[in-house]
Amino acid sequence: MDRAVQLKRGISRQFSAGSMKLGGKFSFKRQSSMDPRSNNIRFSFGRQSSLDPIRRTPTKDEFTLPGNLDSTMQLLFLACKGDVQGVKDLLDDGIDVNSIDLDGRTALHIAACEGHVDVAQLLLSRKANIDARDRWGSTAAADAKYYGNVETYNILKARGAKVPKTRKTPMSVANPREVPEYELNPLELQIRKSDGISKGNYQVAKWNGTKVSVKILDKDSYSDPESINTFKHELTLLEKVRHPNVVQFVGAVTQNIPMMIVSEFHQRGDLTTYLQKKGRLSPPKALRYALDIARGMNYLHECKPDPIIHCDLRPKNILLDSGGQLKVAGFAVIRLSKISPNKARLARPVTIDRANLYIAPEIYRDDLFDRSVDVYSFGLILYEMMEGVQPFHPKAPEDAVKLMCVDDKRPPFKIKAKHYPPDLKELIEECWYPDSTVRPKFSEIIIRLDSIVGNCSKQGWWKETFKLPWK
């Protein structure tokens, strides 16, 4: 009988019609049953990778594989069954010995998991890649060792096979079911250090073909409880926020070293770089950018059950996407000690950056503060977009901060009043007012900015300002 016909018949005797699980694993569902819940039951193909974080118990039930099984799945199936002749026939027919499924599993991985020594030896004689790694980084030798298949393991080791070293992270979970939903496979991240972003520890990477920003936890931080708590705090906040004007969290690596936080990448960089290049912005663009920032901040301030207070709102923490929209970033880095639902203080130990031009006086003096500290910073950013220079330029940042936070001075408006949209100066002055109770909330700021834009459009104010060299 033709070998292909035999194979199909053999497969149909072992499995009942089902469907493959997304992701390329050999997983199937039960055939139709009176129990409506049966459609939700999933079955794994043989033993899993030793590093797969989701552990599933192989079933003893009888199943049938689909008749249109491709050659790679046939090879893995026969390796799982220990069918040496079947594997040999497929290899003789030209099937690549190193064919992989979507999880990166080869026939050698499968044979090592199941302890089929003869199949493993056959695959090795056909030049199977002894150190091929699956999507979780596991090798055939690691799988053989994990499942106690000593003879297979010794054969692989004798041929120089490597067993990847694994190190537990401070966030490692004992039960694989507790692995966070945001967990990413580090092997899917291609970090290009030469393209590093000059902001903190962020670097450019590619994740499944998409550019992302990756924040890598410093190697000295794993033994520092405070650094780990800060990392966890950042993840907790990033995971729950979703808004068009807030930087998008992609996922994280917490079960492998190095631990990483992955977020969306913005090719156009941050507002600091943009302002250094463009200088003073046109009133329409400054107001549009101000609305983007205000909307993102209002979302953070209205988060439930507790508002997210940024504490470090400044141009370098505002990113520009490809469409020219602004997104607030860096809001989850500073940890706070909550004194009441609306009052907080910086958690200790914290080193205050006294060269941060946009730091609110309350934080500078280490006083209790509330959400209004972000409104203060917003006022200075709006001033800079309209004036084209930083507050008290060209004074040193430390001196400018001291003038604002200790002496209660505010930078002068140098652009003529007639070039400011009506009511905009007043809004800026209220935002940076020394008494925090006078500062408006972002929900009010949005309404007032919308009103300013509307009035300027109705009165044709923009036409006059376009005569100036705005950018």
Answer yes or no: do 143 and 275 share one domain: no
Residues 42-46 have a mean pLDDT of 49
Tell me which residue range forms the domain holding 85: 3-158
pLDDT of 120-130, one tens digit each?
999 999 999 99
Answer yes or no: do 149 and 55 share one domain: yes
Answer yes or no: do 192 and 47 share one domain: no
Residues 130-156 have a mean pLDDT of 90
pLDDT of 342-368, one tens digit each?
788 887 666 678 889 999 999 999 899
pLDDT-derived band at 465, boundaries 50, 70, 90: low
pLDDT-derived band at 298, boundaries 50, 70, 90: very high
Residue 277 clears pLDDT 80, i.e. is over it: yes
Q: Bigger pLDDT: 28 or 158?
A: 158
Count other C-beta atoms under 10 Å from residue 104's C-beta: 18
Answer yes or no: do 255 and 278 share one domain: no
In a domain, 54, yes or no: yes
Are the beta carbons of 470 and 283 closer than 8 angstroms?
A: yes
In a domain, 20, yes or no: yes
In a domain, 216, yes or no: yes
Q: Which residue, of 232, 247, 264, is where some domain finishes?
A: 264
Q: Please give the structure tokens belonging to residue 356.
A: 């941060």
Answer yes or no: do 435 and 288 share one domain: yes
Are the beta carbons of 362 and 368 closer than 8 angstroms?
A: yes
What is the reported pLDDT for 5? Answer: 40
What is the reported pLDDT for 201? Answer: 60
What is the reported pLDDT for 198? Answer: 40
Count other C-beta atoms under 10 Å from residue 166's C-beta: 15
What is the reported pLDDT for 464? Answer: 54
pLDDT of 68-110, one tens digit each?
678 888 899 899 989 999 999 999 999 999 999 888 899 999 9
Ranges assigned E (strand) in 316-398 = 318-320, 326-328, 336-338, 344-346
pLDDT > 90 fraction of the chain, expressed in percent and rounded: 52
Q: Bigger pLDDT: 340 or 263?
A: 263
pLDDT of 405-422, one tens digit each?
999 999 999 988 777 898
Number of domains in the chain: 3
Residue 224 is among the residues annotated as catalytic for this protein? no
Answer yes or no: do 260 and 276 share one domain: no
Tokens 């991240």 -> residue: 189
What is the reported pLDDT for 220? Answer: 81
In a domain, 470, yes or no: no
What CATH number is associated with residue 26? 1.25.40.20
> Any idea what DSSP says for residue 130?
T
In terms of average pLDDT, the best of 189-203, 210-224, 364-378 is 364-378
Residue 258 burial (10 A CB sphere; 0-12, 13-18, 19+): middle
Cα angle 440, 293, 280 (rounded to 5 degrees) comes to: 100
Residue 456 clears pLDDT 70, i.e. is over it: yes
Query: Long-range contacts for 352-355 (Cβ within 8 Å, ≥24 apart)?
Result: 354/398, 354/401, 355/397, 355/398, 355/401
In a domain, 118, yes or no: yes
Q: Which residue, of 217, 246, 264, is where some domain finishes?
A: 264
What is the reported pLDDT for 54? Answer: 62
Residues 196-207 have a mean pLDDT of 66
Amino acid at 97: V
What is the reported pLDDT for 87? Answer: 95
Q: Which of the following is catalytic: 52, 103, 292, 312?
A: 312
Answer yes or no: do 136 and 234 share one domain: no
Tokens 């966070």 -> residue: 180
Whole-angstrom distance, CA of residue 46 vs CA of residue 56: 10
Going by their DSSP bridges, the two strands 326-328 and 344-346 should be labelled as: unpaired
**DSSP-derived secondary structure for 340-353:** SSS-EEEPSS----
What is the reported pLDDT for 471? Answer: 54
- Of 223, 234, 213, 226, give the one whose Cα is nearest residue 257: 223
User: What residues pair up with 210 in beta bridges, in sequence order?
Assistant: 207
Helix, strand, or coil (residue 202): strand
Answer yes or no: do 446 and 313 share one domain: yes
In a domain, 299, yes or no: yes
Helix, strand, or coil (residue 129): coil
Helix, strand, or coil (residue 107): helix
Mean predicted lDDT score pLDDT of the chain: 82
Q: Bigger pLDDT: 462 or 398?
A: 398
